[in-house]
Structure 1
């Protein structure tokens, strides 16, 4: 009968009808604290598991097992020869039937009844949150741009190897959503995405503004790789995004037309000084919002390496180790960028826009245009802090500084 019970457990796990298992009436004279075990299926790190909740007299203990391990534990607890004790009753709940296994200690019996629950419960280990970018439109159809970018399959299910990218897209949109809602909505928003790449975030942002916030928006993605520009334009047309287009060009050379008032300038993972070029383009265009995710902070690192032989101070030991030098260069580069943006009338902040489990390049610099920041005393304060950092670390020049002063 135990074999029959476990076979039904395996079968329900395979066909998706499994709901839960309850083990009760624990028999063991030495251990009277364990009352029952509640078992459900969960998805942990994209793998199916069985989660056991050991319900004791004074507390609960939760343990996770693989499906095979979990079934072995169930068999152990339903075997009366088990030295640690066994459960005298078990119930398997499925969407098709409830299967009862009783009186294991004396005269075992097994029988099925009509299901008490006809819908499987969520298998998510964590509570699922509603994503800003849904994989389907209001009609229930999978969004074509997510399919084309290999994020989802035709049914709207996110591919396993695209889970991190999908989370990154949503976290990026969630962070920007509060800022975006504060922008004026009377006129169409003009967005310039520098170094758009394959357009994952460009498409998502345009989709969110157009379909979620119901805003009028014109989006231009700038990318120097011709094949990606052609691909993204094809996807934009297929997705009926009339005011989304991609143009071929570098961040440094691209000229934002003055008549096209850029409200938002974005540059995600533009390498080294390309991030500075993008920031400067935003400043030149008087953009209301500049959002960059810096990458490859080589320029300031070279400046530190060049000046450290002549300069010795309390932080000099940090520059003697490659990995610490790299991290110091990252923090210093981005701090100086923030100070320069402050000098140009922007309020700045730095946030982590996704866990470093998904990508190590996870810092987002957000600069919002604030008229109140244009006072000369504030500008002088930030400029003084900028110069102090240059002096302390022996930095001769910062690339963004040169762009602003030329």
Structure 2
């Protein structure tokens, strides 16, 4: 059965499937359907495998992603059917399972042509399909011929969405000098490599990028890949952003999925560096969950799941408000995360000037009073913010 599983994984992950039929129901199994057919379909710009379950008087369709497809096929072959015919781009396969469980795999030249679904997918990506890209190949997103690995297509789209957001920022970068960029919480660093590729390889900018993370094995892996790619101005360092002092000034700070107040530490550091661009996707926001209070909002606060979502929104609103006070223009954008995870908010901020935004100060003071909170980010921002708030608080009296 292991050979069957490997064959299925290869066919599905490399998008070679054209059509398949599972038949000859196992008499020892409880009879539910007579046969199952499978084929690739395009649903909302994503390729899925459609399973059609044929009953005596009805058919039922179910669209599965690639991981679930392999799992479901394995289940059907193991528990229900004794014959599988798979038509693929390079071969026709017939899998036969005897009553004693013995498996035989027969292989013939291909007899069908594949219907091209990829032309319907969104085009004009910054990272292009069907053009080999060394960093995507190294990270397992693309094969050597330039084809996106099926189970990595969501990651491929995420990388492009991220680079679209970056492309809107490049006018804010000072291009007459080396551009210093910090990516805190870089993880396996798909986005960090994509950022370097876009700014250096595509735009030809002089860029230094440092990826920070607290996992040493990740740092070692990423440095190895960067060396192999010849990305000599991209390096990965063990540590957190709060204690990072290698640069005196930083032009862009990226922090994606830094947990709880680690996002605040990154934002504080970015402001103190005077970063021209900040890109931040917060997560795991627990700081204000047990602190927000307002009797008027009790209908929301009494429900834990609603309070959790509300505290996240309040936290990000406070972060945006404080960045505005500190001279930034702030946007809240939707950032589509990986498959099976919710959509997140991306805070995108551009350094505007050093003029105090009195409207933002007034909004912030009223907002935190309404929720009865003293946010961590306000304390960490230090004397600069404290003096602005005190001055404007006294002026409002």
Q: Classify the TM-score, shorter chain.
A: 0.5 to 0.7
Q: Give the deviation of 1:66 after TM superposition.
A: 8.7
- TM-score with structure 1 setting the length: 0.65
Larger radius of gyration: 1
Corresponding residue number in structure 1 for 2:79: none
The answer to whether the aligner puts 1:283 opposite 2:260 as a matched pair is no
Residue 133 of structure 1 aligns with which residue? 127
- Spell out structure 1 runs of 4+ moving beyond 6 A: 14-18, 64-67
Q: Does 1:177 align with 2:177?
A: no
Question: Secondary structure of 1:392's match?
Answer: helix
**Structure 1 residues 126, 49: closer, same or farther in 2, change over 3 A?**
farther
Give per-residue Cα distances to partners, 1:145-184, cap 9 Å, x unaligned.
Answer: 3233222233332222222222111101111102114423
CA drift at 1:15: 9.0
Cα pair 1:195 1:223 within 8 Å, conserved: yes
Distance verdict in 2 for CA 1:227–1:357, change over 3 Å: closer
The 8 Å contact of residues 226 and 234 in structure 2, kept in 1 or not, is answered as yes
Q: Gapped runs of 5+ residues in structure 2?
A: 1-14, 20-38, 52-59, 64-112, 384-397
SS of the equivalent of 1:365 reads strand
- TM-score, normalising length from structure 2? 0.67
1:1-400 equivalent positions in 2, closer than 5 A: 42-44=41-43, 45-47=46-48, 122-124=116-118, 126-134=120-128, 140-143=131-134, 145-258=135-248, 261-304=249-292, 308=293, 311-312=294-295, 314-354=296-336, 359-371=341-353, 374-376=354-356, 378=357, 380-395=358-373, 397-400=374-377
| Kept after mapping to 2: 8 A contact 1:288/1:369 | yes
Deviation at 1:17, TM superposition (A): 9.7
Residue 250 of structure 1 deviates from its aligned partner by 1.5
Task: Quote the Cα distance in structure 2 between the aligned partners of 1:392 and 1:399.
Answer: 17
Mapped partners of 1:289, 1:345: distance in 2: 12
What is the distance in 2 between the residues matched to 1:188 and 1:135? 30
Which whole-Å CA distance do the structure 1 matches of 2:222 and 2:167 have between them?
Answer: 23
C-alpha RMSD over aligned residues: 3.1
- Shift of the 255–361 alpha-carbon distance from structure 1 to 2, 3 Å rule, reads farther
Distance in 2 between residues matched to 1:243 and 1:132, nearest whole Å: 21
**What are the ranges of 5 or more consecutive residues in structure 1 without an aligned counterpart?**
1-13, 19-39, 51-63, 68-118
Distance in 1, matches of 2:119 and 2:139, equals 28
Distance 2:337 2:224 in 1: 32
Aligned residues: 294
2: CA distance between counterparts of 1:394 and 1:219?
Answer: 39
Hey, what does 1:405 align to over in structure 2?
Answer: 382
Deviations 1:207-245 (A, max 9, x none): 011122121211111111111111100000001111100
Deviation at 1:280, TM superposition (A): 0.8
